[in-house]
Structure 1
Amino acid sequence: MKIEIIPQPLVGSVKAVASKSHAHRLLIAAALSKRTPAISIDTTSQDIEATRACLLQLKKDHPVLDCKESGSTLRFLLPVTMALKERALFLGCGRLPQRPISPLKEEMEAHGCKFINKHRKKGNSAEICEIQGRLQAGVFTLPGNVSSQYITGLLYALPLLESGSQIRITTPLESRGYVDLTLDVLKQFHIEVYIEEKEGCPTYKIPGGQKYLPPGDLAAEGDWSNIAFWIIAGILSSDSGIICNGINPRSMQGDREILNLARRMGGNLTVKGNSVLSMANTLSGIHVDASPIPDLVPILAVAASTAKGTTRIHNAHRLRIKESDRLASMYDCLSRVGAKITEEPGGLIVEGVPRLKGGTVSGYNDHRIVMAMTVASIVSEAPIIIEGAEAVNKSYPTFFEDFEALGGEYHVL
C-alpha cells in the first residue's frame, strides 16, 4: 500500500494498543500452565497472532511453528519447544529466516539439540531450521550485548527441565528492561529465578522441575514502544496536544524511557494516572545510548530532525538486524525528506533543520519505519509518500485509524 501523508498537526486522545512484548510473555506462560488462565489482549497484531498459532502447535508430537516475521516468537520458542519436544520445525517469512539465532543456537547445541538448516520454501514461508533432541539442563553462557530475547527464551524453558540450570551473562547486559519484564511475568506464574550480579553481568539460577501456576486472569499492558510515536507527535504538533491513555508509568517495559528521553529533549509532558499529555514545545538535541531502548530509535531520529542542535544516537548496532536495517532505513528516509543526518556503524547523528521538505520514501517492510515517517509529516512542508505502509500490521494494525482520529490526513495512492 502506497500512501500520501498530508502535513498537519495532530490533536486529541488515543489509547495504547496491547504491548507485544507483554502479550508474548503472558501467552507463553499461560500455555505452559496446567490450568490456562484467561489472558485479556484488547488489540492484536500479526506478531501476537504468530505466537498464538505456534503455541497451539506445541500440542503436537512434532510441531511445525511458523513464526511469520516475529523475531520474538522464534527466539522465545526455540528453547521452550525443545524443552518439551524431541523434534520441531521452525518457519518464518520476510527477513526472519536471515536474522541471527546465534549464540542461542550454539548454546542449545551444547545442551542436547541438533540444528538442521534447510531453507526450503513452504508456501509463503521458508524453513529456518529443524531441531532434533531435547534441551538438557546445565550452564548456558551468553554475552550481554546480544538479543535479550535469547535470555527470555531460556528463562521460560529451563524451569521445565528436571535439573537446575544457570544462564551466565559474560558482559554488561543491554536491553535489561526486556529481561526484567520476563522476570516479572515468571514471578506472577510462581517460577523461581535467583539472580547474582557482578559488575553489571547477572547470573540467573533456575531450579528445575518447576510448574507454571497462573495467578488468575491477566491483561496485557498498553504498549510503550508504540505509544512513543504519539508522544513525539504531540510534542511536534500543537499546544492542544495529544492525550495518550492506557499506559502504566510503573511498567517493567523498558520503552517507558521515552518519557525521560522526550523530557531531556525539552518535551512538554504531564503524567496523570495511566495517561500522558504530550504538548508542543521546542526540542533540543541530546546524546542517546540506544542499547536499552533500540525500538525507540526511529521515532527519536524523527524528533531530532527538527530539534535545535545535534542529536547523537549510539550503541545501536543491533538495529541492523531488525525487520530492516533500521539505521540505514532511517538514514535513507530522513535524507530523502530533507533531514541533515549521518549514518555511523553503530548509530546516527542528526543535526536539526527548521522543517522537512517532504518526498517519497520506502517503508522497508518495517512497521516502525512506516510509523516514524508518518509522524515526520507533522514537521514537513510538503506531503510524505510512503511505499509499503501496510507494514504497520506487524505490531499496530489500527495505526492509520488512530492517526486519522487525531486529525491526520492521508490518501491511498
Structure 2
Amino acid sequence: MIAAIRKARRLEGDVMLPGDKSISHRALILGAIASGESRFRGLSSGADVRSTAHCVRALGVEVSDSAVGGVGMHGLRAPTGALDCGNSGTTMRLLAGLLAAQPFVTELRGDDSLTARPMDRVVTPLREMGAAASWPPLVVGGRMPLHGIDYVMPVASAQVKSALLLAGLFADGRTTVVEPVATRNHTELMLEAMGASVGADGRHVKVSPAERLSPLDIEIPGDLSAASFWLVAAGLVSKSRLRIRNAGINPTRMKFIELLRGIGIGVTVEGARKAGGEPVGDLAVGTAPNLRPLTINGAIAAQTIDELPVFAVAATQLPGTSRITGAGELRVKESNRIAAMAEGLAAMGADIAALDDGWVITGPRHLEGARVRSHRDHRVAMALAVAGLLADGTTEIDDAECVDISYPGFFDQLESLC
C-alpha cells in the first residue's frame, strides 16, 4: 500500500486512540496465568497484540477480544510447534521470560525483522537464573527450578525488565532488576493489581515468587506513543486544535509531553483519573506560537525511544540546531530507524545528519512532498505521514500498511482531522 499525504491547512477534532500496546501485551500474558477469567475493555487490535494473543492460545489458553481464561501459575500447556511472534519484540521477550520458567521447551520465532533483533539481552540474565535459554533461534524452558538474582541491566529496556519479573514469579527467592534509567512500569502496576509481591525503590525493581495471581478487570487506556504523532502534528500545523480522549498518562511515559512543552508545543491534561490502576486523561493541544530547538540525550532518549522518530520530524521545523543523541537502540528496532528517518526527511528537503546514536537537525526547513520508504516500520511510516502534513505537494509512503502493527485506522483518523 502506498499512502498519499497532502499538506494540511489545519487539524481539528477529537482523536480516539487504539488501546495501549504495552498494556495490552501484558494484560494477555499475565491474564493467561491468573486464576480465572480476566476481562478487558479497549484491548489493542494491532498486529503485534494479535501475535501475543495467537501465542497465548497456542499455550492452551482461551482468548477473545475482551477476555482471557487464565489457567493459573502452572496450567500452561506445551505448544505443538514454535510460537510465531510476528513482528513483535514485546511478545518474544516477555514470553521468553514466562516460558523459561516452564517444564517444557518452547521455540519463539518471528519475521525477518524480529529475527534480526538482539535477544541475547534477555537470554543472558535468564541463564543466570538457571533457565535453559539459547539464541538464535530463541529457545527457552525445560530446566527447573529457577532461582532469583540481582541483575544490573546494561541497556534500559522495559521488555527485558518485564521478562525477568515474569520469570521471577516462578523462581526460588527474590529477583531484583536494576535499571540504568527507570522505564515504563506497566508490568509492575499490573502485577501489584493481581496480588503479586512486587515493588520499586528508585531504579531497583523487586519481585517475589507467587503462588496465585488474581484475574484482572480493566479498561485499557489509549496509547500515548500513538498520541505522539497527533501532538506533534497539531503543534506544527497552523490553526490546529485537537483533543485526544482517554490517553494513558503514566508518569513513566510522560517525558515526551515535557519535551513537547519545552520546545513550545503546549499540551494540557484534562480530566485526570485512574482506570485499572493506570492514570488516564484527555490531552488538548494546539498550534505552537513560538518554537525552540530541541536537545535529547542519554536517559531522556531511553525514556522516549518510541517517540524519537516523530521528534525528528518536529526538529525540521524548529529554529536553530536540534540534537537527538543517546538513541543507538533505534538501530535495532523494527528497522534501523536512525537511517530510515534520515533518508526520508532528507528526501523531503530536511537538513538532517545521521549519527551513530541519533541525528543533528537544523531548521526550520521548507519540506517538499516526495516518495519515501517506511522500511515496513510502523513508527517510521506514521512519522513520515506527519512530515507529509507539513510539506508542499504530495508525500507518498511505501508499504504504509505496516501502521497496522500498532495503529489500525491511523490513515482514516488522519483524513478525518484534516
For the pair 1:294 / 2:305, whether they are aligned, the reply is: yes
**Cα gap change, 1:329/1:165 in structure 2, threshold over 3 Å: closer, same or farther?**
same
Question: Any conservation in 2 of the 1:359–1:385 contact (CA below 8 Å)?
Answer: yes
Matches within 5 A, 1:317-328: 317-328=328-339
Partner amino acid, structure 2, of 1:69: N
Residue in structure 2 matching 1:61, options 38, 58, 78: 78
| CA displacement, residues 299-353 of structure 1 (integer Å, 9 cap, x when unaligned) | 1111111111121111101111100011111111111110001111111111113
Measure how far apart 1:369 and its partner are.
Answer: 0.4
1:341 & 1:152 partners in 2: Cα distance?
35
1:88 to 99, 102, 106: 106
Q: Secondary structure at the match of 1:285?
A: coil
- Structure 2 counterpart of 1:108, from 96, 120, 126: 126
Shift of 1:134: 3.8
- The residue number in structure 2 matching 1:41 is 42
Q: Which residue pairs with 2:146 in the alignment?
A: 136
The equivalent residue for 1:262 is: 260
1:100-132 CA deviation, whole Å, 9 max, x = no partner?
A: 11132122233343345575xxxxxxxx44654
- Partner residue, 1:280: 287
Residues 116 and 131 of structure 1 are in contact (CA less than 8 Å); yes or no, is this contact kept in structure 2? no
Q: What does 1:221-370 align with in structure 2 at a 5 Å threshold?
A: 221-249=221-249, 251-252=250-251, 254-273=252-271, 274-281=281-288, 282-289=290-297, 290-370=301-381
Residues 34-81 of structure 1: CA distance to partner in whole angstroms, max 9, x if unpaired? 112111225410011111111122223245321111000000010201
Report the counterpart of residue 187 of structure 2 in structure 1: 182
Backbone CA RMSD of aligned residues: 2.0
Of structures 1 and 2, the one with the larger relative CO (CA 8 A, separation 6+) is 1
For the 8 Å contact 1:18–1:43, the answer to whether it is kept is yes
Q: Deviations over 1:140-167 (max 9, x none)?
A: 5242424221110111221133x21323
Q: Is the CA contact (8 Å cut-off) linking 1:107 and 1:140 kept in structure 2?
A: no
Question: Which residue number corresponds to residue 125 of structure 1?
Answer: none
CA deviation map 1:275-322 (0-9, x unaligned):
222111232212113121100101111111111112111110111110
Q: What SS is found at the alignment partner of 1:160?
A: coil
Corresponding letter in the other structure for 2:264: G
**Residue of structure 1 in register with 2:63 after alignment:** none
Q: Name the aligned partner's letter for residue 231 of structure 2.
A: I
| Secondary structure at the counterpart of residue 103 of structure 1 | helix
> Cα deviations across residues 183-233 of structure 1 (Å, max 9, x unaligned)?
111111111124455xxx52x33322431113x511211100001100111
Looking at structure 2, the residues matched to 12 and 361 of structure 1 have their Cα atoms a distance apart, in angstroms, of 28
Rounded Cα–Cα distance in structure 1 between residues aligned with 2:358 and 2:153: 20
Question: Which AA in structure 2 matches 1:211?
Answer: R
Q: Which residue matches 1:371? A: 382
Letter in 1 for 2:174: S
Q: Which residue identity is paired with 2:308? A: V
Aligned mates of 2:269, 2:332 — CA distance in 1: 34
2:275 is aligned to none
C-alpha change, 1:7 and 1:277, in structure 2 (3 Å) is same
How far residue 360 of structure 1 moved from its aligned partner, in angstroms, is 1.2
Percentage identity across paired residues of the two chains: 27
Q: CA deviation at 1:237?
A: 1.6
- Alpha-carbon shift at residue 12 of structure 1 (Å): 1.6
Residue type at the aligned position of 2:260: A
Paired residue secondary structure (1:229) = helix
